[in-house]
Each structure stands twice: as structure tokens, then as C-alpha cells.
């Protein structure tokens, strides 16, 4: 495995550690996780909805280790249950950093992130990450078979051909995989003997298939630049997949492609590590501020 792949695998914790949670004997407030899930399953629909208060980010600031400058400054934001928000802003605005904090790759330097009334820092990591589905911008390209690349999203389904093929189809990759000589058993990665490589967009779709396979237990979905390596035509197809992914859960999307922001319940605009605008696409266009400037500038590049 190359250095860059090793680095990618390390960063893509959400696509390995989450999928490896087969044993749920983790502690949660004095009870193991299976007890917690059983308690939730005993709630009726009204009681369950009442237990979901969403995510509250309170006075959050963050500075990376060995750095003197804060990348996020005094962030305050409420994300409601079943709400899809899109984080937008120029490079270096802090969008991906905020997404990583929501995944608890890092803890805030100041302030807190509260999910359903609990500080993320109070939740066992494995339990927390078992409730999150993640496709990061630096998604992993595992040097192994197509089957395993998808099944790392939900290891108990590694031999479930139907579920794996369905996830691949929903990600729009079925035709590509069907044409491979060994189908699901095709080795991916030029460093492997007999291995082949995929295009950047195909790898991204494979990462989405991994997320789709894991979707059912996820309560929070994080997508970092989900259409970054796709052409505009293919990008539109992915939007339909994103709607499916986001349904019935909190979804936080980081994107430079502002057309995606039109799908969101709200758009959050960051600049220099601070939130400067929040609202729907139409509201922010009417406001005539930074989002309006970014959107019209990007739209003109497609004309």
C-alpha cells in the first residue's frame, strides 16, 4: 500500500471503524449499547420523536494541534431532526473541519456539540460512530475486491450479494461492475497483481455504495464534497442518491457545488471560520450577500 493510500485509510475512519462495529457491547451512560438500542425500540413513535432534539453547536471554537490560529471561531448553530443542511464557503473557511468535529475526529478547543441532549464527548466513540454514516472528501480507496470495498460499510452483509449489488446500483455503478471480468470479486488497485483502477468519479460512487449499504442504522449523515469528482451531468444523477441518503435523518453536506445547496433545508455560509449567513437558498439569494455572490459567480461559469 502506498503512502497516500495509507494516509487515506487512516483518515477514513468512518468507513472502516463504523463498519466494523459488529459487537455492540459498548458502555453508554452505565448501560451497554444493545441495552440502549433495546430501550429505543421500546419507545412508540411519539416518544422516539420527542427524544430527538437534534444537534446544538454552542460557542464552538477549534484550533488544530500545533497551530496558533483558530480555524473555527464562536460557532453557534442548531440542526433540527431530519434536517439537511449544506455548509458552503471558500477554501479554508472551516467547512470540512466542522464536519470532522461532528464526527468527533477532534474535540472542540472551546464550546460544545450537543446531540439529543448529550455532549459528544460524553459518548463512547464506537457507539457514537455506529450512529454516523460518513463519506469524506478523502474517501478511502481500499486495495481489495469490489465486494469488500462496499461491504466495509456494513461487514455483516459481506456475503449478501443482493444487498451489495443493490447498493452499487443505487450509486449508479452497476453497469461498470457488471462489465468487470470478475464482478464483485474484481481486485481494485494497481498495486495488486491483476488489480485494476477506477476513475475518480467511479471511486466516489463506490464510496457512496458503501454508505448506502450502511444506511439503515445511521442517524447522522456526513457528506464532504460528494460530487467533487463528477461532471455536471453525472452530478445531477448523484443528487437523487443524496435525497435517498438524507431521508429520515440529520444530514450535513459540505459542498463547493452550490447547485446542491438548493436541495437543502438550510444553507450555512462560513467565512474565515465564522458563520456569516444562514437560511434557505431562496432566502440567501434574496439577501444579496456572500451566498448570492458565490452562487451567481458559479452559475455564470456553466453558461
Which is higher by pLDDT, 53 or 233?
A: 53
The strand pairing partners of 78, in sequence order, are 56
Q: What is the dihedral sign for C-alpha 269, 274, 279, 284?
A: negative
Bridge-based pairing state of the strands 220-224 and 72-79? unpaired
Give the number of other CB atoms < 10 A from CB of residue 17: 15
Which is higher by pLDDT, 143 or 28?
A: 143
Q: Can you give the pLDDT at residue 216?
A: 67
As a whole-number percent, the residues of the chain with pLDDT over 70 amount to 77
So where are the chain's domains? Answer: 1-27+142-217, 52-131+219-303
Lowest mean pLDDT segment, chosen from 20-24, 86-90, 289-293:
20-24
As a whole-number percent, the residues of the chain with pLDDT over 90 amount to 54
Q: Average of pLDDT values for 119-137?
A: 87
What is the Cα–Cα distance from 181 to 168, expressed in whole angstroms? Answer: 16
Q: What fold characterizes domain 52-131+219-303?
A: Rossmann fold (3.40.50)
**Any residues with CB less than 8 A from the CB of 22 and at least 6 apart, and which?**
155, 156
Q: Can you give the pLDDT at residue 226?
A: 73
Model confidence over 216-264: pLDDT tens digits? 678 999 988 776 666 666 666 777 777 777 888 899 999 888 888 888 9
Query: Whole-number mean pLDDT of the chain?
Result: 81
Q: Can you give the pLDDT at residue 135?
A: 76
The answer to whether residues 172 and 230 touch, using CB atoms and an 8 Å cutoff, is: no
Which is higher by pLDDT, 11 or 239?
A: 239
pLDDT band per the 50, 70, 90 thresholds, residue 133? confident
Q: Average of pLDDT values for 81-94?
A: 94
Say whether pLDDT at 140 is over 90.
no
Lowest mean pLDDT segment, chosen from 37-46, 83-92, 193-202, 208-217:
37-46
**1-27+142-217 and 52-131+219-303 in the same fold:** yes
What is the Cα–Cα distance from 208 to 112, expressed in whole angstroms? Answer: 29
Q: Average of pLDDT values for 128-144?
A: 82
Give the number of other CB atoms < 10 A from CB of residue 135: 24
Select from 206, 149, 212 the least CA-distant residue to 173: 206
Q: Average of pLDDT values for 270-299?
A: 95
Q: Average of pLDDT values for 189-197?
A: 92
Which CATH number, 3.40.50.300, 3.90.1640.30, 3.40.50.2000, 3.40.640.10, labels domain 1-27+142-217? 3.40.50.300
Say whether pLDDT at 129 is over 90.
no
Amino acid at each position: 500500500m502506498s503512502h497516500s493510500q495509507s494516509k487515506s485509510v487512516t483518515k477514513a475512519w468512518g468507513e472502516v471503524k463504523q463498519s466494523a462495529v459488529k459487537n455492540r457491547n459498548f458502555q453508554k451512560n452505565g448501560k451497554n449499547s444493545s441495552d440502549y438500542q433495546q430501550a429505543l425500540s421500546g419507545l412508540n413513535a411519539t416518544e422516539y420523536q420527542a427524544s430527538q432534539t437534534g444537534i446544538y453547536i454552542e460557542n464552538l471554537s477549534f484550533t488544530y494541534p500545533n497551530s496558533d490560529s483558530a480555524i473555527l471561531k464562536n460557532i453557534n448553530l442548531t440542526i433540527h431532526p431530519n434536517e439537511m443542511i449544506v455548509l458552503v464557503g471558500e477554501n479554508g473557511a472551516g467547512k470540512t473541519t466542522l464536519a470532522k468535529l461532528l464526527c468527533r475526529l477532534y474535540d472542540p478547543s472551546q464550546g460544545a456539540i450537543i446531540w439529543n441532549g448529550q455532549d459528544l464527548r460524553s459518548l463512547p466513540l464506537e457507539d457514537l460512530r455506529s450512529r454516523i454514516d460518513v463519506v469524506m472528501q478523502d474517501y478511502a480507496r481500499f486495495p481489495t475486491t469490489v465486494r469488500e470495498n462496499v461491504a466495509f460499510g456494513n461487514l455483516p452483509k459481506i456475503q449478501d450479494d443482493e444487498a451489495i449489488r443493490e447498493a452499487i446500483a443505487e450509486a449508479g455503478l452497476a453497469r461498470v461492475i457488471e462489465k468487470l471480468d470478475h464482478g464483485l470479486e474484481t481486485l481494485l488497485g494497481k498495486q495488486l497483481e491483476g488489480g485494476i483502477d477506477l476513475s475518480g468519479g467511479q471511486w466516489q460512487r463506490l464510496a457512496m455504495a458503501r454508505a448506502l449499504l450502511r444506511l439503515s442504522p445511521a442517524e447522522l449523515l456526513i457528506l464532504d464534497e460528494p460530487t467533487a469528482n463528477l461532471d455536471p451531468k453525472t452530478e445531477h444523477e448523484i443528487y437523487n442518491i443524496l435525497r435517498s441518503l438524507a431521508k429520515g435523518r440529520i444530514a450535513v453536506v459540505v459542498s463547493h457545488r452550490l447547485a446542491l445547496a438548493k436541495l437543502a433545508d438550510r444553507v450555512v455560509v462560513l467565512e474565515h471560520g465564522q458563520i456569516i449567513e444562514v437560511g434557505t437558498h431562496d432566502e440567501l439569494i434574496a439577501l444579496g450577500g456572500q451566498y448570492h455572490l458565490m452562487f451567481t459567480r458559479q452559475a455564470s461559469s456553466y453558461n
